[in-house]
Each structure stands twice: as C-alpha cells, then as structure tokens.
Amino acid sequence: MPGTGPRDAGPRNTGLGVLRAGIRRAIRIGSRPGPWKRGPVLAALALLLGLSMLLHARIPNRIGHLGSLAETVLPWFGLFIPVLLAGALWRRSASAVAALLLPVLVWLHLFGGLLSAKSRPGSDLTVASHNVSADNPDPAGTARDLAASGADVLALEEITPQAKPLYEKELATAYPHHTVQGTVGLWSKLPLSDTRPVDIEMDYGPLADTKPAAVRMAYNRALRTTVATDQGPLAVYVAHLGSVRVNPRVGFWTDTRDRNAQALGKAIAAEHNERVVLLGDLNGTLDDRAFAGITSQLRSAQDTAGDGFGFSWPAEFPVVRIDQILVRGVKPDSSWSLPATGSDHLPVAAGISW
C-alpha cells in the first residue's frame, strides 16, 4: 500500500541514528584527557608560584630590583593559591590540585608561624616606634595618643622643625628625658646618655666637602643613645631609612634605602653593648635581602612574639610592615600595632624583658 515503505524504514533509520550518536559520544568521551592530563597550564603556574616563593632569594635584582619587590610583597603571593585552586576545580584537573601542594607547603613554611599567637604576658620594658609623618595634621593629638600608650621608650621618625616643639610640649610630662637628632627623636621615662647622631648616608658624593655640618644635622635620619634600666644599659637606635619608589622606567627604586641599611648594619656591628634595640621606619619588609646586614645581627620582635603579620602601612589599609622593632640580647615578649593617629603609618610597640 502507498506509504508502507517509508513507515517501515522509519524505525530502522531511527535506531541506526541512535547507534551512530552513541558511538560518536563514546569516541568523544574516550578521547577526552583524564583528570591527570587536564589543566597542564594551571599545574605549571602552581609549580612556578611555589618555586618563586621557595627560591625568592634567587630572583635577580639586577633588573629593576625585581627580587626586592617580590620579597616586599611575598606574603601576598598566597592569594594566588585559591585562584589557581578554583581554576583546577573548574577544569577538574587532578594534576593542578596536586601541584598546588607545593605553594601551600612553602607559604606555610615561610609564614605559617605568624598565624599563631606568640605573645606572652609581662615584660620589663615597653618600647614603641612611630613615623609621625611630615604631613600630620594633628601632631599634638598624635603625641597625646602615643603618651597614653604607656610605652617606656618612644621613638619618633619624620619630625619636622614646625612640629618638634609640639611633640616636646605634649610628651614632656610622660617622658622627662628626650633627644631629637635631625628628623628622628627618642622620648624616655628612663635617663639617656651617650647620645649621638648616626650617619647612615655613607657617602655624600661630590658634595661631601661642601655640605655644612649643620645642614647634614638638619636632615639626619638616625641616632644612637643609651637607656639606663634597672637591668643595665640598653643601646637604642632610631632610624628612618630612605624611601622607595616604583617607577615604570627604573622599576623598584631602592638605592638610597639600601645604602642606608648597609650603613646602619655596620653601625650596629660596631656596637659594644650586648643589649640592643632598633626602632624605626626601615621602608621595607624584613624578607627583603637589602636588610641582611641588619637581620643577621638582630631579630624581629614581631616575628618572635607577635600575633599575625603586624602590617603598619598604609594606616587606612595596612598591607606591609615597614615599621620595625628589632632586638639583640633581650627577649621579646609581645609585639603589636597601636591605633591609627594622624599619620599614614601605624605605631608599633613591643614588650621586652631580660
């Protein structure tokens, strides 16, 4: 009858089409890479991230101080781990997930200890340091806030000639002893002696013979003094190292700071007092290789007795710790950041004991 042929052929054609589709689907599934072969780029990036953190000291500094820049933001390398993990899970890549174990372990090795609480109650002396900022709109209020902290020894950096009388007036009651050498100063509840500026410029270049001593003193950025404590003399250094800049033409510019750090390291190496405290704005993190001459002699109060990273700059949203307290011959018991003042830095403090 008319139409019988096509109706009879329909089921056969439909069954054949389903069979062909099933075969093609099986071929596609069979040709897909397994979970260990997926995401090779993600796996490579994970390994690169881990090696960059593990071998950060090998990152060359010859081009734009790239090594110092990487070491400045080294803790933040950890933010790439969850990003890569999300990509690995999306790609269902077992190899990428496995490769992420390297950066996770390296990051925990470098910074995991900072996540635990290490502060201990009680200390013989509380020291504090604050870059008060030359642009501070309320230096008197800043001084009152710092005096209320209860620190026994207080270091200030970036003191301007205009603000100096205000700091001296507001801190006089709490701190009967003080010294200001150029743009840095130290206020103390305990007597001071053997106070002198520390020349951290190392080399004034062709202007060395033409720059008057008074001009050098006005811009002095470091001092050394002795604090008389019940346990004996304590040598205290206050320093404000040169600024750093990120410039598209030269990269991470740190020349002045690095020169200052080298000179400061030599001054500390020549210090005869066994007990030393360094307070100040070093304009860099202690992971930076530029401070090897200092960190080889002193240990960080924050790393030893702090809770967390203790970031101090910028005050609105701190992302790096460039304000440091380092010690030798005394034991850090605690380390913390004080509330924000009118400065763009947070004050930092530490309790130390003998």
Q: What is the pTM of this model?
A: 0.86
pLDDT in tens, 49-79: 999 999 999 999 998 999 999 999 999 999 9
Q: Between the CA atoms of 217, 221, 227 and 232, what dihedral angle is there, to the nearest 10 degrees? A: -120
> Phi and psi (nearest 5°) for 148?
-70, -15
Q: Which residues pair with 188 in a beta bridge?
A: 153, 177
CATH 3.60.10.10 domain residues, the chain: 125-353
Q: Between the CA atoms of 350, 284, 242 and 268, what dihedral angle is there, to the nearest 10 degrees? A: 60
pLDDT in tens, 131-178: 999 999 999 999 999 999 999 999 999 999 999 999 999 999 999 999
Average pLDDT for 170-198: 98
pLDDT in tens, 276-319: 999 999 999 999 999 999 999 999 999 999 999 999 999 999 99
Residue with more model confidence, 84 or 25: 84
Q: Which residues contact 174 (CB under 8 A, 6 or more apart)?
A: 147, 187, 189
pLDDT in tens, 199-223: 998 544 444 444 555 545 557 999 9
Termini Cα distance of the chain: 111
The per-residue pLDDT for 37 is 82
CATH number of 125-353: 3.60.10.10
pLDDT in tens, 307-354: 999 999 999 999 999 999 999 999 999 999 999 999 999 999 999 999
Candidates 275, 341, 283, 347; CA nearest to 310 is: 347
With a cut of 80, say whether residue 190 has pLDDT above it.
yes
Q: Is 343 left (phi over 0), alpha (psi -120 to 50) or beta?
A: beta
Helix H segments across the chain? 4-31, 40-54, 66-72, 80-91, 94-99, 101-111, 139-147, 164-171, 213-218, 255-269, 292-295, 301-305
The per-residue pLDDT for 204 is 46
pLDDT in tens, 42-56: 999 999 999 999 999
Residue 105 tokens, joined: 């372990």
Q: Which residues contact 183 (CB under 8 A, 6 or more apart)?
A: 157, 158, 159, 160, 219, 220, 221, 240
pLDDT in tens, 79-135: 999 999 999 999 999 999 999 999 999 999 999 999 888 888 889 999 999 999 999
pLDDT in tens, 239-276: 999 999 988 888 899 999 999 999 999 999 999 999 99
The per-residue pLDDT for 116 is 85
Cα distance between residue 143 and residue 94, in whole Å: 57
Cα distance between residue 63 and residue 251, in whole Å: 8
- Name the DSSP letter for residue 55: T
Question: Is the preceding peptide bond at 314 cis, omega within 30 degrees of 0?
Answer: yes
